Amino acid sequence: MDKAAVLFNPSAGKGRAAQNRRALQRCLQEAGVAHDWFESRHEDDLRDLVSVTAEDYPVLVAAGGDTTLLIVINEMMRLGADNALGMIGLGSCNDVVREFGVHSLKKACQAIRRGRTRRIDLGAVREGRKVLRYYPGQASIGLSVLINQYVTQVVQRSPRLGRYQTLSGLRGGWRACRSAEMPIRLEVEHEAGRVSGEFMLAVFDNIRYYAAGRKALPQARPDDGLLDALLIRECSFPRLAYLALLTPPALYAEKKEALILQSPRFAVHSAKDFTIQIDGDVLSRDGRPRPFRSLEFESVPRALKIIS
């Protein structure tokens, strides 16, 4: 295999990635991965590391959480770089690496050593003609954004409580359902028509996994030129919890609250502001969630070369 640049984000997983530094370095050595080590200090530094390594290293390895992958991929797309991307999941959710079967250090390092590549699609969030963000996993509107903000507040107050993500997420969901921000009236245009209504959640997925390992859309594929949408209509918090925790995803289509769509492109419109979360990262401006009234989500076929 070609020598890789390992781009390590120690702040991933709410800072827990730093505790895995030695384990990762040992695993890379044991797997025989020829590499140089680059450690980021903050998000802008991580972007700069992509810029300075992309020309000299055929293989870039993003070592961190889903947000780390998001930053590295978007910088590669900005540069027009066609490097092979290896992925090592050290975050809180790791949904993207789970999709590609490299969700343990050992599996990820072995895959990087083998160097087998494949082309995958990326999702793209557009505002008019401008691409705001590319993403390998999912983009969502509604409940997930509010839960993310609540869990972030919990972690800032007590990092120890932040480890109990399911409990924090449930409480965040309960608070979100009681807020004036939910539900959101959306109109969603897709290849076969349009739907509208009051929704708790709208997810536009490129992969099967969502929310820390939940296989929300089992039929989703990252190389079919399509995005898969899951829309949850207005419902009570107990019903929402039942759908999220006790309903097998294969049965979502049978539930009256759930609507599943597949299309290469979705256009979303609303009469009131909504915010968006992309692979766990709330799209913000000046430190505050950025409001939108209209956005497009589309599949960009074969946009990224990954190692898996």
Residue 109 has pLDDT above 60, yes or no: yes
Q: What is the mean pLDDT of residues 143-150?
A: 74
Q: What is the mean pLDDT of residues 196-225?
A: 89
| Confidence at residue 217, expressed as pLDDT on a 0 to 100 scale | 86
Strand 265-274 with 258-263, pairing = unpaired
Q: Do domains 4-115 and 127-302 have the same CATH topology?
A: no
Q: What is the CA radius of gyration of the chain?
A: 19
Q: What is the mean pLDDT of residues 33-42?
A: 94
CATH 3.40.720.10 fits 127-302, yes or no: no
Q: Shortest CA distance to 226 belongs to which of 308, 127, 130, 302?
A: 302
Return the half-sphere exposure (C-beta side, CA atoms, 13 A cut-off) of residue 109. 17
| Confidence at residue 192, expressed as pLDDT on a 0 to 100 scale | 94
**Amino acid type, 163:** R
Q: What is the mean pLDDT of residues 207-229?
A: 88
**Amino acid type, 308:** S
Band the pLDDT of 71: cuts 50, 70, 90.
very high
Question: What are the tens digits of pLDDT across the range 128-141?
Answer: 999 999 999 999 99
79 or 41: whose pLDDT is higher?
A: 79
Q: What is the CATH number of domain 4-115?
A: 3.40.50.10330
Q: Shortest CA distance to 95 belongs to which of 72, 74, 73, 69?
A: 69
| Confidence at residue 168, expressed as pLDDT on a 0 to 100 scale | 60
Residue 307 has pLDDT above 80, yes or no: yes
Residue 179 has pLDDT above 90, yes or no: no
| Range in 11-25, 32-46, 182-196, 293-307 the model is least confident about | 11-25
Other beta carbons less than 10 A from residue 129's beta carbon? 6
Q: What is the mean pLDDT of residues 135-163?
A: 72
Mean confidence (pLDDT) of the chain: 88
Q: Which residues lie across from 7 on neighbouring strands?
A: 38, 62
CA distances from residue 26 to 83, 96, 99, 181, 237 in whole angstroms, order as listed: 24, 23, 24, 47, 45
179 or 120: whose pLDDT is higher?
A: 120
Q: Residue ranges of the domains in the chain?
A: 4-115, 127-302
| Distance between CA atoms of residues 5 and 112, nearest Å | 11
CB 104 within 8 A of CB 95: no
Band the pLDDT of 224: cuts 50, 70, 90.
very high
Q: Which residues lie across from 203 on neighbouring strands?
A: 140, 230
| Confidence at residue 164, expressed as pLDDT on a 0 to 100 scale | 53
